Structure 1
Amino acid sequence: MNFALILFLLLVASGVLWFFDRFHARKRRAANAPAPWWVEYGASFFPVILVVFGLRSFIVEPFKIPSGSMIPTLLVGDFILVNKWTYGIRLPVINKKIIDVNLPQRGDVMVFRYPADPSLDYIKRVVGLPGDRVEYLNKRLTINGEAVAIAEAGSYLHPDRLYYSPQFSEKLGAAEHSVLIERDAPAFVPQVMNFPQRENCTYTSSGVACTVPPGHYFVLGDNRDASADSRVWGFVPEENIVGKAFFIWFNFNDMKRIGGFH
């Protein structure tokens, strides 16, 4: 049972108590008589839960980064905010889009429900849009026959492991972002899953080339050799999209990380 469903059930339960107390129980109680404790407490939580549920479902939702697949953009332990409406207004819990707003763009950092297990939320960078031909061969990214611009940007020191990784500046869409690419790691994709529309992808010892199906997206982690992403488990369906990550609001280990990111 996910948190959105738990919050929805609490909203319904507290709302029933609030309406019961306001439109029925109060009329039957003696003047100035206190409400039963279970009614008073349950009904008092309804406005708070309603505001939290509305903000979290339609405006912005907090997430915590659990893995290092998006290093150096996002670190383990980063608490981030995700814009819930920029890709369309969706019904909470079932995540069904009811109002179109914008579509994901190349370079966006997107949160989505993991296609192999929709109870899990994943975060990756959007690389391929519907209809794109995406190739990641010999650790170079090509989209629709054009190599993505990339330049060396020194080394990145992993603070938790005290070792360096080669860092590069990559440009997808309008904004540049940093990626890590290990020179000694193999180019081929290990442990590929049997995902839907896998026939759209060709795997070789040099990497993978895929044509993104309609209504789907191809995503990669910025920590390219330490990320299980579309190369491994396939495409992200449009109905799995949760929102666009845009702000780091807290990190217990580094207060300087608070702020926006590309």
Structure 2
Amino acid sequence: MANFYSALLTIVTIVAGLIWLYDAKVNKPKRLEKIADEERRLQQQLDEEARQRVAPQGGIAEFAQSVFPILFVILILRSFFYEPFRIPSASMMPTLLEGDFILVEKFSYGVRDPLWRTEFIESGRPERGDIAVFKYPPQPNLDFIKRIVGLPGDRIIYRNKTLYIQPACDTTIQTECPKLEVVARNISDSDAVYFNGARPLQVAEEQLGNVSHQILLDPTVGGREAFYFKQSGTARDEWIVPEGAYFAMGDNRDNSEDSRYWGFVPEDNLVGKAVFIWMSFEMDRPSSSWLPQWVPTGIRWQRLGGVE
């Protein structure tokens, strides 16, 4: 479960903190009183070792006191600042590869509590072209990562593997609404070669808002409009993004389960923005290997750095 570790970390931190607090407020004064009585009896001040023998701190309380500060710092950093994620699939190739480990900036899209994810500080919203982590709408206990293509109010068309966007129009402040435009895309001369199974994929450069990035297209895959999410009042390959929601797509366009198939990403499902690759493992171990498939075969040092 995507929220399991957040909930577990929060509960363990709270329990450790309560044990430490109880020990400090209830047990510690009793220990100090016992030590004072022993010092009066002996008429001398005891050193630390002797104090521990006279009134030792319980093992559980000592452990809680030592780990609580560490757990608290980790909880704050993970809940409100940065959280590590592992890329589990090929849906964001070539931008993100399976085996990449990324940092997600949690405060980019609002500061939320780690358990119920209620936003209590508004700190920003996704921009077109952002790579966002969010709770998968059909199954919110899973985390998904895709690129934000459509903003609230946008009209999105994906037809013949070509993306069209008509930005939202506020008639109260705009005298002329933007027109539907094709998203600029050019087949790239990249030296990198990507495959879907044994099939080579085309690499294309796409300009999405202010973000220039690469996408992959599979020439052997035809239209999949029959499987698209059907929004009432629109064509099968057309969507109007509702207020408070976003339209997300994978960069590996013919190998991505995204908004085209299950609909929109509610604002409340947003987790954060992918900003940095801090580790990248090669995971191309052959099935004949005696080692488990999850054991890396190498490190892709050249991939470490910022995410676009």
* TMscore range, shorter length: over 0.9
What is the aligned partner in structure 2 of residue 23 from structure 1? 25
Q: How does 1:115-154 map to 2 (within 5 A)?
A: 115-144=137-166, 145-154=180-189
Contact 2:94 2:214 in 1 (8 A): yes
The 1:160–1:234 alpha-carbon spacing in structure 2 relative to 1, beyond 3 Å, is closer
Counterparts of residues 200-215 of structure 1 (less than 5 Å): 201-203=234-236, 208-215=237-244
In structure 1, the partner of 2:285 is none
TM-score, scaled to structure 1: 0.92
More strand by share: 1
CA shift at 1:109, angstroms?
A: 0.1
State the Cα distance separating 1:158 from its structure 2 match. Answer: 3.0
**Cα root mean square deviation, aligned:** 1.7
Task: Check 1:147–1:246 CA distance in 2 against 1; reply closer, same or farther (3 A cut).
Answer: same
Q: Tell me what 1:174 maps to.
A: 210
Are 1:96 and 2:118 an aligned pair?
A: yes
TM-score, length-normalised on structure 2? 0.79
* Aligned 8 A contact 2:20 2:64 in 1: yes
- 1:167-216 deviations in Å (ceiling 9; x for gaps): 0000111120000011221122354468xxx326531xxxx110001100
Contact 1:182/1:225 (8 A) holds in 2: yes
> Within 1, Cα distance between the matches of 2:60 and 2:125?
45
Q: Is the 8 A contact 1:112 1:240 kept in 2?
A: yes
The aligned amino acid for 1:152 is: I
Match of 1:218, SS?
strand
How far apart, in 2, do the equivalents of 1:182 and 1:190 lie?
A: 18
Greater radius of gyration (CA)? 2
Partner residue of 2:133 out of 111, 119, 142: 111
Question: Separation in 2 of the partners of 1:119 and 1:15?
Answer: 27
Higher relative contact order (CA 8 A, sep 6+): 1
- Whole-angstrom CA distance in 1 between matches of 2:98 and 2:18: 40
Separation in 1, partners of 2:250, 2:196: 19
User: Counterpart of 2:305?
Assistant: 259
Taking only the aligned residue pairs, the percentage that are identical comes to: 42
Aligned mates of 2:125, 2:25 — CA distance in 1: 44
- Give secondary structure in 1 for the equivalent of 2:271: strand
- Is there any run of 5+ residues in structure 1 with no aligned partner, and where? none
Give 4+ residue runs of structure 1 displaced > 4 Å after superposition: 159-163
SS class of match (1:244):
strand
**8 Å Cα contact 2:195/2:201 also seen in 1:** no
Note the C-alpha offset of 1:160: 9.2
Q: Which amino acid aligns with 2:185?
A: I
How far has the Cα of 1:87 moved from its partner?
1.2
